[in-house]
């Protein structure tokens, strides 16, 4: 889309976001600066599952972006996120999606996490998101980290994943008790996306 206002000319950039996760898609849509639009995998008709076989968040993020870019011969970005819990030596980390098993639901994963933390006083944890922008065969990564604590019980019904048991530092609400706008004040995903948007601006892509 091209929009010309007075002497300012702005061209909207459409980026492909390598995800089929509708929650991630609507979160990232809620934080887009002017001039960027995104399309998820369903919208572009890509139904294949992206490979995620690396043992780090950085590795999986790169793998997804590189695979999609090479398959479709297009620029794109991907993100990978993990919840790292201190008392569990950083678990579930890169295995956050399948913590309770290969086909685990969000609830299964939360229940396992709460069980593993039973009787433990140290509830410190952090969410880490790594975005990879893959453009013309080159990649660049942006990390966002939010520290917080794991609650003893689930609270709230918004969001997804581990949102009902994570309270970010500076708040007394879980992510699942927050609106999208409130979550964005603390969000690990928002922090990494800001790095990405700054990069696009600095490199005159935007
Ligand atoms: P992946 O990046 O899709 O591999 O995400 C791993 C898992 O982390 C997801 O299945 C969710 O359970 C969890 N997760 C990712 N982002 C968030 C978030 O913003 N809030 C809560 N859980 C999340």
Mean pLDDT along residues 25-29: 96
In the chain, the percentage of residues whose pLDDT exceeds 90 is 88
Band of residue 19 on the pLDDT scale cut at 50, 70, 90: very high
Q: So which residues are the catalytic ones?
A: 80
Question: Within the chain, what is the greatest distance between any pair of CA atoms?
Answer: 63
> Does the structure show a pLDDT above 70 at 5?
no
Band of residue 17 on the pLDDT scale cut at 50, 70, 90: very high
Helical H runs in 53-205?
Answer: 57-72, 106-116, 180-186, 188-202
Cβ contact 135:148 at 8 Å:
no
- Mean pLDDT, rounded, of the chain: 93
For 112-171, what is each residue's pLDDT tens digit? Answer: 999 999 999 999 999 999 999 999 999 999 999 999 999 999 999 999 999 999 999 999
Cβ contact 92:104 at 8 Å:
no
Structural domain harbouring 196? 2-202
Residues 6+ apart with CB under 8 A from 175: 156, 158, 159, 162, 163, 164, 166, 167, 168, 183, 186, 187
From the list 97, 94, 79, the residue with the least C-alpha distance to 16 is 79
The β-bridge relationship of strands 36-39 and 76-85 is unpaired
CATH number, domain at 43?
3.90.950.10
- Contact residues of ligand 1, CB 6 A cut-off: 21, 80-81, 96-97, 106, 109, 159-163, 175, 189
Atom of ligand 1 nearest to the CA of 106: 12
> Does the structure show a pLDDT above 70 at 104?
yes
| Residue located via tokens 């980390």 | 93
Band of residue 204 on the pLDDT scale cut at 50, 70, 90: confident
Cβ contact 155:4 at 8 Å:
no
pLDDT for the residue numbered 10? 57
Band of residue 102 on the pLDDT scale cut at 50, 70, 90: very high
Which phi and psi angles does 78 have, rounded to 5°? -130, 165
For 41-83, what is each residue's pLDDT tens digit? Answer: 999 999 999 999 999 999 999 999 999 999 999 999 999 999 9
d(CA 62, CA 77) in angstroms, rounded, equals 9
Report which protein residue has its CA nearest ligand 1's atom 9.
Answer: 97
Ligand 1 center–CA 12 separation, angstroms: 28
Ligand 1 center–CA 162 separation, angstroms: 7
Token representation of residue 39: 């399309």
pLDDT for the residue numbered 11? 65
pLDDT for the residue numbered 74? 94
Best substitution site from 22, 28, 81, 130 to test ligand 1's pocket, by max atoms within 8 Å of Cβ? Answer: 81
Number of independent structural domains in the chain: 1
- Give the predicted TM-score (pTM) of the model: 0.93
Band of residue 35 on the pLDDT scale cut at 50, 70, 90: confident
Beta bridge partners of residue 15, listed in sequence order: 38
Q: Which helix (H) or strand (E) holds 24?
A: helix 22-29
């Amino acid at each position: 889309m091209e929009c010309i206002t007075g002497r300012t000319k702005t061209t909207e950039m459409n980026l492909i976001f390598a995800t089929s996760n509708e929650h991630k898609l609507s979160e990232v849509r809620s934080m887009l600066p002017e001039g960027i639009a995104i399309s998820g995998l369903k919208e572009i008709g890509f139904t294949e599952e992206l490979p995620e076989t690396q043992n780090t968040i950085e590795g999986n993020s790169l793998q997804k972006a590189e695979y999609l870019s090479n398959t479709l011969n297009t620029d794109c970005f991907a993100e990978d996120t993990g919840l790292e819990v201190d008392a569990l030596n950083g678990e579930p980390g890169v295995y956050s999606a399948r913590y309770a098993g290969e086909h685990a639901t969000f609830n299964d994963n939360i229940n396992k996490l709460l069980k593993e933390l039973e009787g433990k006083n140290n509830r410190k944890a952090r969410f880490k998101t790594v975005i990879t922008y893959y453009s013309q065969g080159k990649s660049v990564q942006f990390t966002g980290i939010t520290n917080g604590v794991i609650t003893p019980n689930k609270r709230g019904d918004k969001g997804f994943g581990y949102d009902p048991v994570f309270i970010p530092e500076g708040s007394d609400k879980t992510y699942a008790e927050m609106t999208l706008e409130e979550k964005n004040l603390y969000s690990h995903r928002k922090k990494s996306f800001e790095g990405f948007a700054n990069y696009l601006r600095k490199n005159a892509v935007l």
